[in-house]
Amino acid sequence: MKTGERAPEHGRALNLIEELREEVDYTICREIMREEVVSVMNKATDFVMCAEEICAEDYTNESSS
């Protein structure tokens, strides 16, 4: 994220996901609401799609060398 190769929102999404996971794991009363799950799933899906595109680009660049 820091190098600019990844969108800053992906870094923020990963931080949010980690925070939610830790809250649920280590807090007795914390439950994740359906809306939070949907939001996190959408962000995770977007992140994975971006990662796949980057991997495909890297593979294409390596194959053409």
Cα(61)–Cα(16) distance, integer angstroms: 32
What residue spans define the domains of the chain?
8-63
Cα(25)–Cα(55) distance, integer angstroms: 32
Q: Kindly report the pTM of this predicted structure.
A: 0.66
List CB contacts of 19: < 8 A, sequence separation 6 or more: none
Q: List average pLDDT for each run of 10 residues in the chain, which is 65 residues long.
A: 69 88 85 88 90 82 70
